Amino acid sequence: MKKKMTQIASVLGIIAILAMIGFGLSACGEDDDTGGTTTKTVTVGTQSGTLNAGTAGTVTYPVTTANIANGTYNVTVANRPSGVTVGNSGTLTLAASANATTATTSTLTLTLDGVTSAVFAIAIDAPAFVLEYAIGDTGPGDGKIIYVSASGFNVTGLGTCHYLEAAPVDQEIILAWASSGYTSTYIEGTGTAIGTGKANTAAILAVDANAPAAKACADYRGGDKDDWFLPSRGELDEMYEARSHLGISPIWYWCSSQYNDSYALQLDFEFYELRSGYKGDVKRVRAVRAF
């Protein structure tokens, strides 16, 4: 009998131990309010979206969630572009006031509830060009618009510009390109392209402060603007194309693009003939400005 009682005690002891183990295992699990596990699963694939600067807009990033209370999650973002807000419901929004002068792309790193990081490439497009002036219109400097570029052109000191405006009258009937002591002086860095005339004029005056053609243009104050300059060869070409709006004389005009030490480029407005002319010779001069 004693042996039988010992055996029964042993069995009960084993049952008690198993019960305790089972209770301990159960205590290690955690339940959320819905009765499921609290494991959070948030996944976002590599995505991309585009927003237009200056216009309010929203793009979405697809999110897959599992076992998150109420389906919401907290979002932190690295490398967020200025003006972009990131919502915790899968959206990125660009405020209407946000601006960009050039198109940019940022790669955001999204961390959702500290569980999963994802990459989202967001492109911010520059504002679309809105035409304000047409060739022949009166510009803000009281001159005439002679060139319009939707894509824009770069002007040193001004950045991206879209218009060239020519003065309504010649600055002088005839002026030399260089003052008497500088007719055989090479000016470093003068260009011929549209957008280079302003830098050309500054370079000329930095060497020859009284260079007649460049100084007359830089001193012009049409429309109370102080950013007029002697046009480059490319800018003078556009003036020729728009000549019917300018009442311009069919004669030779200087540009700010030089040819060599002693010669600069000039354009005949009657037959569209481009030549080099001696810097001490006198030609007509018409200022332009970019904006």
Question: Is the same domain home to 174 and 207?
Answer: yes
Question: Is the same domain home to 175 and 237?
Answer: yes
Q: For residues 55 and 128, what is the distance between their CA atoms, to the nearest angstrom?
A: 10
Q: For residues 15 and 253, what is the distance between their CA atoms, to the nearest angstrom?
A: 110
Segment 194-227, tens digit of pLDDT: 999 999 999 999 999 999 999 999 999 999 999 9
Question: Is the same domain home to 73 and 118?
Answer: yes
Mean pLDDT of 177-185: 97
Predicted local confidence at residue 7, as pLDDT: 47
Question: Is the same domain home to 178 and 247?
Answer: yes
Question: Is the same domain home to 102 and 188?
Answer: no
Percent of the chain with pLDDT strictly greater than 70: 70
Asked if 114 and 101 count as a contact pair (C-beta separation under 8 A), the reply is no
Question: Is the same domain home to 174 and 55?
Answer: no
Per DSSP, 9 falls in state H
Asked if 276 and 264 count as a contact pair (C-beta separation under 8 A), the reply is yes
Find, among 140, 113, 138, the residue nearest to 41 by Cα. Answer: 113
pLDDT mean across residues, the chain: 80
Residue 257 sits in which domain range? 144-290
Question: Is the same domain home to 117 and 185?
Answer: no
Question: Is the same domain home to 154 and 262?
Answer: yes
The three-class DSSP label of residue 87 is coil
Segment 223-282, tens digit of pLDDT: 999 999 999 999 999 999 999 999 999 999 999 999 999 999 999 999 999 999 999 999
Whole-structure pTM value: 0.64
Segment 123-169, tens digit of pLDDT: 777 777 889 999 999 999 999 999 999 989 999 999 999 999 999 99
Number of helices (H), then strands (E), belonging to the chain: the values are 4, 17
Q: For residues 250 and 241, what is the distance between their CA atoms, to the nearest angstrom?
A: 13
Question: Is the same domain home to 46 and 99?
Answer: yes
Q: For residues 279 and 235, what is the distance between their CA atoms, to the nearest angstrom?
A: 19
Residue 207 forms part of a structural domain: yes
User: Which residue among 93, 125, 157 closes a domain?
Assistant: 125
Residue 2 forms part of a structural domain: no
Q: Are strands 47-52 and 116-125 parallel, antiparallel or unpaired?
A: parallel
User: Which residue among 66, 97, 125 closes a domain?
Assistant: 125
31 Ramachandran zone, left/alpha/beta (phi>0; psi -120 to 50): beta
Structural domain tally of the chain? Answer: 2
